[in-house]
Structure 1
Amino acid sequence: MPASPSTANPEPTTRAVNLRVREEIRDLIDQAARIQGRTRSDFMIDAARRAAEETLLDQTLVRVDRETYDYFLAVLDHPPGGAGYERLMAAPSPWKA
């Protein structure tokens, strides 16, 4: 028996999320959404999704064997050097310029 249209490609369930936001923040969001050619809702959903993913990824535990961990600690204890590193460290910080 062939699948009915509702079971062959079911629509994802959506639920409302209501937010109260100061007017100047809403205006900022609207301006950014317009620049991207998106609706306020699409812009906010995407921004919230990305923030949620980043938060969860920041909580990810990485397990390694003892040898790899010891190597990692050794690298931290002996930072890089040389002309390229010195040049990088001497470069002005963009946020201070």
Structure 2
Amino acid sequence: MSTPADTQSKPETLTIRMGSEERNLIERAARLSGKSRDDFILDVLRRASEDALLDQINIVASPEAYAEFLARLESPPAPNARLLKTMQTKAPWDKK
């Protein structure tokens, strides 16, 4: 059975077909991020793959823990100095 270290030490090739419009877009984005096209594509694919897997994670909780979780979500936070300051501070895009 291979370990993650084994798979990382032996790069494999992935072939993908795309139109010139998509290729130009990827080339521009890679240049702007200071990466090679291959590194850029690999980073984007890795992030998208991780997101897809994380979307499938199930969190299991007892009925009591779930009820507590819902109660906390539905109850407003207690007023405190930090919350009051945040609520009274103008958003950066509203400052003019």
Instruction: Give the TM-score normalised by structure 1.
Output: 0.64
Correspondent of 1:20 among 18, 21, 24: 18
Rounded to whole Å, the distance in 1 between the matches of 2:26 and 2:78 is 44
1:54 counterpart = 2:48: no
Structure 2's unaligned 5+ residue stretches are 1-5
What is the RMSD computed on CA atoms of the aligned residues?
2.9
| Structure with more contact order per residue of length (Cα contacts < 8 Å, sep ≥ 6) | 1
Report the counterpart of residue 34 of structure 1 in structure 2: 31
| Structure 1 letter corresponding to 2:65 | T
Gaps of 5+ in 1: 1-8
- For these two proteins, the number of residue pairs brought into alignment is 84
Q: Which has the higher helix share?
A: 2
Partner of 1:65: 62
**Cα shift readout 1:12-40 (whole Å, capped 9, x = no counterpart):** 251322131352x4333222212333211
Q: Measure, in 2, the Cα distance between the counterparts of 1:26 and 1:20.
A: 7
Shift of 1:61: 0.2
1:87 corresponds in structure 2 to 87
Following superposition, which runs of at least 4 residues in structure 1 exceed 4 angstroms of deviation?
90-94
